[in-house]
Each structure stands twice: as structure tokens, then as C-alpha cells.
Amino acid sequence: MKTILLGLTTALTLTGPAFAQMLELEKDELTFGFIKLTDMAPLAVAYEQGYFLDEGLFVTLEAQANWKVLLDGVIGGTLDGAHMLAGQPLAATIGFGTEAHIVTPFSMDLNGNGITVSNEIWEQMKPHIPTDADGRPQHPISASAMAPVVEKYKAEGKPFNMGMVFPVSTHNYELRYWLAAGGLNPGYYSPENISGQIGADVLLSVTPPPQMPATLEAGTIYGYCVGEPWNQQAVFKGIGVPVITDYELWKNNPEKVFGITAEFAQENPNTTLAVTKALIRAAIWLDENDNANREAAVEILARPEYVGADAEVIANSMTGTFEYEKGDTRAVPDFNVFFRYHATYPFYSDAVWYLTQMRRWGQIAEAKPDSWYDEIAKSVYKPEIYLEAARMLVDEGLADEADFPWDSDGYKAPTPAADIIDGIAYDGKAPNAYLESLPIGLKGAQIVVGNDIQG
């Protein structure tokens, strides 16, 4: 783990519009954690472009071994904040796993994940995948193409194992969503059994992101869902094939957030605003001028103190393309989105979607009214902090007023059916109706008892 330190002399020489509304900071020396994934980019860019310094912040960025260590660091105070799985602040706040009130004033990105399978599984899937006129596999690829393979393994008495990065990760929910949309049951959680494998056709387990390719190559898992660059790494190593991106699964879906404790936000309101301002500026830089800065971002992320993967591997997805089967490179300009489409605004509807998936698979054991979803979302996602930071940037001439949803009630318009792989629309204001519309998963008052669904 390499620590990145900022020098005081640089801060003293900086001048310009960024100092127009210098905040009186409660704390100016901060340590933030991250996992080695390309979507930690706003933190790296805010550091490297001097945006933290512009706000008077002296920041140390520290790579963490895994998501649990990272969360424990934020809760325990060794980290002031972190690049987090969007499900982590929500799960902690409702007491699933480690209990603590975590909030987020900033959503870090949209999209950015993929589902990869081993070469062996891919070859068995291919006969079940339609092809385009040019003979290439037709995307998006449904998990129904994998169902016969899973059935074959089951008939042979072999468990079908796949990896995801954490029980409350987007990757867990996206992999489950893809499997269920293709008719495969990814299994349930219960208070007595937190494996998530109750009644499962496909057995999902945790593997840290950087270890995914090696675990796949060893044959311990047959596929995984992870962020970049670890899907493209499988292509470059010749050990696996990404079958779908989360952009194809759910267009412009939310991904990571920046998390801090509610206590930190309350005790350090100006510092929280300053951090949010710096992160917004980093997100703008990452997407401005049609991603013109992405090559520079790739060079930053490739450094060992950040992601530490080959620049060529990182560029494969960060610069507007994505490689599926070796040589099958396609344009996916929105694979990584950091600012467009209000990507950085912490929408309540994004929080509600994560909560619906926790309920769908039994991590939330009992039914909750729609009002509960709204209440929890508002206790964790803090758009009011975000908009205050954005207003300051606009007033300083560092952001465009038209780029922020000033009049939003915190809920996006419903996601249309055409933008989601199972053809089921999502409305964050009607979580229980949404759960009822999903063919596989807990509904209404259903609960998991032993290995059975009751209710």
C-alpha cells in the first residue's frame, strides 16, 4: 500500500477562482480509502489535478485490501471517507452486517461493471447465443444461454460457482439480476443463513476484485461480476470472456458512492462541502469535451498507487470501447460515466433500488412499506449537501449551472422497460409494486424459513 501525501508549499502558491469561496474548514488533513478499480478515478483526479488543494484540503489516499476493511476503517475513524459500494452505506445504516450510520453526498459514477465467464463456459454457452449478420454474438447476452450449462453441471453433481465482490455490492445485485432475468435462481439470504445460496441454481461467493482473474483461471469459480479493469484483464490473459456489461443490463445504472459517517458530516460540515466540491470538479474533468481527458486519466490510474494495472488494459474500457471475446471490440462510449446524466447527484431512487434488491433476496428479511424505503434513502443519500457544493462551484465559475438538477425531488423519472434486460420498468417511488413485478424474488410478506419461501 502506497501513501500519497500533499505538500504544503503547493497549497500556498495556488491562486485563482477556486479560492473565491474558501470555506473555514473544521478538518483539513484527511485520509480516504479506495479499492483498486477504475471507478475510484474521481478521488485520484481530485488529488492529481489539485482540486483537493484548491479547497485547502491535505489528502492522503490509501488503497484497501477489501471492502470490509475499507468499511471498518471509515466506521472506526482511521479513514475519514472512502470510495464505497453503493450498498455499503445503506446496509450499514439498516444494520445488515456492521451497523453504523453512513451517508453519501456524492455518487461516483454510472455503469462500469461486467460479467465474465471462463473460456470453457463460454464455449458451452455459444450454441445458445444468436449471432448478428457478421457472425458475432448478438448483445445483450441473456443468462438463458447459460441455463443449459448450469443444468448440465447440476446433472453431473457439480456446483456452479460464480464470484462477486461483496454481499451488498452492485456486482452481487447485478449478477443476481442477470441470472434471474434468464430464469436462473441465484439464491436467498435469511437471518440464520447469510450465505445467499438458499435454493440457488448458481452459487455466488465473495472474491476481492483484483483476485477475480486468478480465481477464474484456477477453476474455483466459472465466472464473476466485477468492475474494471478486471473483466478486460481476463481477455488480455486469454482466460475468460465478458458476456455482458452492466450498461447493457440496466442503462446508466448507479455504481459507487463516496461514503462518510453521519457523525463526520455533522461535525465537519464545511470540510464535507469542500470534499464534495473537489470531487464534482474531478467528475467534470473526467467527462468533459466528450471524454477528451480519458487518456490522461488512464495514465494516472495505471500507476501502482492507484489501480496498478497495465494502461492498455484500463484504456480498453475507459476510453469508449469494450472488448468481449478476444478481438471482438465494440464501441461503448458510456461504459464509464462520471458526470454526464447527473451521474454525481445522489438520487434517492438509486438508494431505493439497492434496498429493493436487498429485500428481493432476503437481506431485508421482512416486508417494508414504501415509506420505509423513502425514509432510509433520505437518511443516507444527501443531495442537499451536493447541491450546496455545486452552487458554490457555479458561483466561482468552475461549473455550469445547467449541469445540475436543481429542482429535482431526489427521484429520477422511472427507468423505462427498454433500458433494463428483463424488460421490467423501475420506479423508485413504488418499490413494493416493483418487487411484485419481478418473476424471481421475495414479494409482499414472503419470508425465508429454512430452505423454503413462505407467505
- List the one residue out of 197, 120, 166 whose CA is nearest residue 448: 197
Q: Is the dihedral of CA 238, 243, 247, 253 positive or negative?
A: negative
User: Per-residue pLDDT tens for 376-422?
Assistant: 999 999 999 999 999 999 999 999 999 999 999 999 999 999 999 99
Cell readout for 382 is 444527501
Going by their DSSP bridges, the two strands 257-261 and 102-107 should be labelled as antiparallel
Q: What is the pLDDT of residue 106?
A: 98
Cell numbers for 299: 495514465
User: Contact 259/84 with Cβ under 8 angstroms?
Assistant: yes
β-strand 110-111 against 188-190: which pairing, if any? unpaired
Cβ atoms of 368 and 96 closer than 8 Å: no
Q: What is the pLDDT of residue 72?
A: 97
What the chain holds in terms of domains, given with CATH numbers, is: 8-111+254-403 (3.40.190.10), 113-253 (3.40.190.10)
| Helix 87-94 and helix 348-360, axial crossing angle in degrees, nearest 10 | 70
Backbone angles phi, psi at 206, to 5 degrees: -85, 130
Residues near 224 by beta carbon (within 8 Å), at least 6 away in sequence? 115, 116, 162, 163, 164, 171, 175, 207, 212, 215, 216
The beta-carbon contacts of 388-393 under 8 Å, at least 24 apart in sequence, are 388/273, 389/105, 389/273, 389/274, 389/276, 389/277, 389/280, 390/280, 392/21, 392/273, 392/277, 393/277, 393/280, 393/281
> Which residues of the chain fall below pLDDT 50?
1-19
Predicted local confidence at residue 17, as pLDDT: 47
Task: Annotate 81-105 with DSSP letters as a single string.
Answer: EEEE-THHHHHHHHTSSS---EEEE
Neighbours of 118 (CB within 10 A): 19
How crowded is residue 258: how many other Cβ atoms within 10 Å of its Cβ? Answer: 26
In order of 126, 150, 375, the CA distances from 121 in angstroms are 9, 9, 43
Q: Give pLDDT, residue 20.
A: 52
Query: How confident is the model at residue 22, as a pLDDT?
Result: 86
pTM, two decimals, is: 0.94
At residue 336, φ and ψ (nearest 5 deg) are -115, 120
- One-letter amino acid for residue 251 of the chain: K
Determine phi and psi for 356, rounding to 5 degrees: -65, -35
Q: Which of 311, 340, 322, 308 is nearest to 34 (CA)?
A: 308
**Of 196, 132, 129, 118, which is closest to residue 358 (Cα–Cα)?**
196
**Distance of alpha carbon 117 from the chain centroid:** 20
280: cell is 464534482
pLDDT digits (tens, 9 = 90+) for 132-159: 999 999 999 999 999 999 999 999 999 9
